[in-house]
Amino acid sequence: MNKLLKLSSFALAVVLLAGCGMGRGPQGDLVGAEDRPEYNPQEVPYGMVACPGGTFHMGQADQDIAASMANLNKQVTIGGFYMDETEITNNEYRQFINVMMEDSLDVLGEEYVMSDLYPDTTVWVKDYTYHMGDPLMEYYFSHPAFDDYPVVGVDWFAAKYFSEWRTKHKNQANAESGRAPMPQFRLPSEAEWEYAARGGRDMAVYPWGGPYLRNAKGCLLANFKPGRGDYYSDGFTYTAPVAQFFPNDFGLYDMAGNVAEWCEDAYSDATVPITWDLNPVYNDPNEPRKVVRGGSWKDIAYFLETGTRNFEFQDSARSYIGFRNAMIYLGRSSGREF
């Protein structure tokens, strides 16, 4: 009886020690580092939609009217990522500017903030000859009537700085709540942008899939210049508030028209043949031309095509160029995670 009692006491001690973490703890075993931040499946960032990974044909899906041989067609694979549902709006960019003015003037200096980060509202006058752009120069960024319109007058460098600030802003909040940091907000690569614009419709001419610019009711499907001297047939003389037209199959708005959008890549005529066929991106710090995609309110339909390539100089701000952010998806992307 005493022997049975001793065995029972020993078994109870083992259970208690195991329950206190002393039975299976890191005693020479490979159990991984402790005290790691909490991480659940990656959350969909606010204002973004998922673009599941896949394979598509990158390049012109229709006749290249420029006949420049700069837009070859190649099949590439893109990993899963998130992209802003709409272009960055005036009010979203204003949040960034307000933080810069309140917290960063001592570090950056007011001159840098106002000349390099604040939208250049004079573009409404400088971009066009003999054009009454003064009202837009005065009101487009400052007046609440334009809060939901895409920000313009922002060069490539300012768009990059905004992306860095947005990352720090989000991850500071994550750190305070004990959550793992999010990946970086950034400009999309040209390949990501085109893949997202197609919305899963490989070889589609426009983001809505079809080769036509109007729907069955005769309504134009984007904000652009449909005819010589005609800027208003789509319902807007200049830019439109974001998300006024139907989204593509990924749920992304204004991937054609409204404002063209900065991409991460430097521009080269040979980008398609020289880049890899898995998540391609062309980086060249010595190339001042950066890729611009999507066409704008002032462009003809050719520039709205998903495969049409264009560029602008990285330090040039225009009244027809804005941007949106992308973020990588961490982990295997089968599409079911989204």
Long-range contacts of 288-291 (CB under 8 A, 24+ apart): 288/313, 288/314, 288/315, 289/313, 289/314, 290/156, 290/262, 290/263, 290/265, 290/266, 290/314, 291/190, 291/262, 291/263, 291/264, 291/265, 291/266, 291/267
3-state secondary structure of 331: coil
Phi first, then psi: give them for residue 273, nearest 5 degrees: -75, -25
pLDDT for position 255: 98
Contact 255, 294 (CB under 8 A): yes
The predicted pLDDT at position 2 comes to 53
As averages over each run of 10 residues, the pLDDT of the chain (338 residues) reads 49 48 65 80 89 90 57 87 97 97 92 96 97 97 98 98 97 90 96 96 91 92 96 96 96 98 96 92 97 97 94 98 96 60
Please enumerate in sequence order all residues whose Cβ is within 8 A of that of 299, keeping only pairs 6 or more positions apart, or say none. Answer: 224, 225, 257, 260, 320
> Given 3.30.465.10, 3.30.390.10, 3.90.1580.10, 3.20.20.10, which CATH number is that of 48-88+148-328?
3.90.1580.10
Task: Indicate whether this model's pTM tops 0.85.
Answer: yes
Q: Which of 219, 231, 64 is nearest to 131 (CA)?
A: 231
* Model pLDDT for residues 224-264, shown as the tens digit of each residue: 999 999 999 999 999 999 999 999 999 999 999 999 999 99
Other Cβ atoms within 10 Å of 278 Cβ, number: 11
R_g of the chain, CA atoms, integer Å: 26
Question: What's the pLDDT at 178?
Answer: 85
Q: How would you class 336 by CB atoms within 10 Å of its CB: exposed for 0-12, middle for 13-18, buried for 19 or more?
A: exposed
Whole-number Å distance between alpha carbons of 7 and 14: 11
Residue type, 53: G
Residues 279-312: tens digit of each pLDDT:
999 999 999 999 999 999 999 999 999 999 999 9
Determine how many CB atoms are found less than 10 A away from the CB of residue 140. 23
Mean pLDDT score of the chain: 89
Residue 25's pLDDT is what? 55
Residues in the chain: 338
